[in-house]
A and B are shown apart, each in its own frame.
Chain A
């Protein structure tokens, strides 16, 4: 494939005007080595990151997004774009592992606290309050995952519930597959944390 610019030129475009930036992003998708490194690191971290990135294209897109963010924040590659991008992909895979671990611990913590008699009811009310402010997908997913007794952990079941409550027939054009449930859960947990930060839970106020 003929690339009209070398990769350092693309970095310069990303730092430029809005139109140049758009062109820069488009050209990033043309670069073969970006695909190769994303695919390579994805393969190396499989199957540990499959819950966050079900397909290699997910890491590919996320790594492009990450690269642009690095450039926006004044970092980004100065000389060796390939080396920089490879390291970035590796870091993203490592971060995915940490995120998955955090998600797991978060699950355990929420479930544990909801079951605790001292703060359980209050916590439940606090979560309900936050969930009511969320979109259908996250509200449904988090409610079934955390507030239901017993909580629904099965991906197939969660996908069916999501499809039933928020799928194409009712609230939107989306369809949900079991393989994407961990990704949706991760996304919803993050949204939940974002909202929780603005509505802090006071553990000590009993």
Chain B
């Protein structure tokens, strides 16, 4: 084999560019072949570049400065440097890898635990809405329209435009229509207004009916559908309401079913 090929092999070997198998073969050849040994020695001598005078001066300057500087404090590495150093070892890779997997799992459990489950179905909501009160004999236009099944959202909205004193019964019926139509945000606001102006509604409703609590329950349903409040908040509101519903079986049952629904999910 010519020296040129030997030299090429030696360069590749020293640059670490040989495959592990070729490297072993080369080392075996180096052990065996006197020719290759000579080529290696020659290459080693030829390839050596003695430092230039400028480099010698620089080294001297660096060494002098270093001596003058005194003891160099060991630097404090930021945490990610330590991770990179650790990552380089097999054990470190195992440790960090399992740590990452564990962190990902914990994060997944936390996120999965915190995220709210799917909202209740429209059917579930419809079956729990407390219907508004309809008197045997209509007293006001809004009651008349709603209780005869002629009410639509636009029509009631139109009626609420000119309410004397800022609130009228049309809003009471409108809130229920919003809730049935799954317009939960509007429903929640409308029920809130109904609760605030309950004295207006109460003037038309028999005292033995618990319309006030029915309004509160409907507002809670609207908030559940709206999804802005957490399940825990909704549950707390329902729990606060439940003791007040002792005399009203149907309403209490509906409220309890919603609590059960929240617990189940």
Residues of A at under 8 Å CB distance from B?
A: 21-22, 25-26, 29, 32, 35-36, 39-40, 43-44, 56-57, 60-61, 64-65, 68-69, 72, 97-98, 101-102, 105-106, 108-110, 112-113, 116, 118-119, 190, 193-194, 196-197, 200-201, 203
Q: Is the CB of B85 within 8 A of A119?
A: no
A103 to chain B minimum Cβ distance, whole angstroms, is 9
Chain B residue, CB-CB nearest to A116:
B34
Q: Give 1 or 0 for each of B41-79: 1 = CB within 8 Å of chain A CB.
A: 110111010100011001101110110110011111110
What CA separation (Å) do A190 and B38 show in the bound complex?
18
Query: Does chain A have a CB within 8 A of B14?
Result: yes
What CA separation (Å) do A32 and B74 show in the bound complex?
10
Closest 9 CB pairs of A and B: A193-B48, A35-B75, A194-B50, A36-B75, A196-B45, A109-B40, A43-B85, A203-B38, A109-B37
A82 to chain B minimum Cβ distance, whole angstroms, is 13
What CA separation (Å) do A197 and B74 show in the bound complex?
40
B69 to chain A minimum Cβ distance, whole angstroms, is 5
Residues in A whose Cβ lies below 8 Å from that of B65: 22, 25-26, 29
Query: Does chain A have a CB within 8 A of B81?
Result: yes
Q: Is the CB of B14 within 8 A of A102?
A: yes
Number of interface residues of B (CB under 8 A): 39
Residues in A whose Cβ lies below 8 Å from that of B66: 29, 61, 64
Residues in A whose Cβ lies below 8 Å from that of B38: 113, 119, 203
Query: Does chain A have a CB within 8 A of B91?
Result: no
Q: Is the CB of B72 within 8 A of A36?
A: no
Chain B residue, CB-CB nearest to A193:
B48
What CA separation (Å) do A157 and B127 show in the bound complex?
94
Query: Does chain A have a CB within 8 A of B84?
Result: yes
Residues in B whose Cβ lies below 8 Å from that of A98: 14-16
What CA separation (Å) do A44 and B85 show in the bound complex?
5
Sample (11) of A-B pairs whose CB atoms are under 8 Å apart:
A36-B78, A40-B77, A44-B84, A44-B85, A61-B62, A64-B62, A72-B54, A98-B14, A105-B40, A116-B34, A194-B48
Q: Is the CB of B72 within 8 A of A60?
A: yes
* A193 touching B45 in the complex, CB below 8 Å, given contacts A21-B61, A203-B38: yes
Residues in B whose Cβ lies below 8 Å from that of A57: 72
B179 to chain A minimum Cβ distance, whole angstroms, is 62
What CA separation (Å) do A39 and B74 show in the bound complex?
8
Q: Give 1 or 0 for each of B1-34: 1 = CB within 8 Å of chain A CB.
A: 0000000000001111000000000000011001
What CA separation (Å) do A181 and B56 show in the bound complex?
22
In-complex Cβ contact of B62 among A68, A190, A196, A203 (8 A): A68
Residues in B whose Cβ lies below 8 Å from that of A35: 72-75
What CA separation (Å) do A110 and B30 show in the bound complex?
11
Chain B residue, CB-CB nearest to A60:
B72
Residues in A whose Cβ lies below 8 Å from that of B40: 105-106, 109
Q: Is the CB of A65 within 8 A of B58?
A: yes
Residues in B whose Cβ lies below 8 Å from that of A190: 48, 50
What CA separation (Å) do A109 and B72 show in the bound complex?
39
Q: Is the CB of A39 within 8 A of B77?
A: yes
B140 to chain A minimum Cβ distance, whole angstroms, is 79
User: Considering residues A21, A29, A98, A110, which has the most beta carbons from chain B within 10 angstroms of its beta carbon?
Assistant: A29
Chain B residue, CB-CB nearest to A196:
B45
Chain A residue, CB-CB nearest to B72:
A57
Residues in B whose Cβ lies below 8 Å from that of A200: 45
Q: Is the CB of A109 within 8 A of B41?
A: yes
Q: Is the CB of A101 within 8 A of B14?
A: yes
What CA separation (Å) do A138 and B15 show in the bound complex?
27
In-complex Cβ contact of B30 among A21, A29, A72, A105 (8 A): A105
B116-143 interface with A by 8 A CB criterion: none
In-complex Cβ contact of B58 among A69, A109, A110 (8 A): A69
Query: Does chain A have a CB within 8 A of B88?
Result: yes
Residues in A whose Cβ lies below 8 Å from that of B72: 29, 35, 57, 60
In-complex Cβ contact of B85 among A40, A102, A194 (8 A): A40
Residues in B whose Cβ lies below 8 Å from that of A43: 77, 85
Q: Is the CB of B37 within 8 A of A113?
A: yes
Q: Is the CB of A101 within 8 A of B54?
A: no
What CA separation (Å) do A197 and B63 show in the bound complex?
27
Chain A residue, CB-CB nearest to B88:
A44
In-complex Cβ contact of A36 among B16, B30, B58, B77 (8 A): B77
A95 to chain B minimum Cβ distance, whole angstroms, is 11
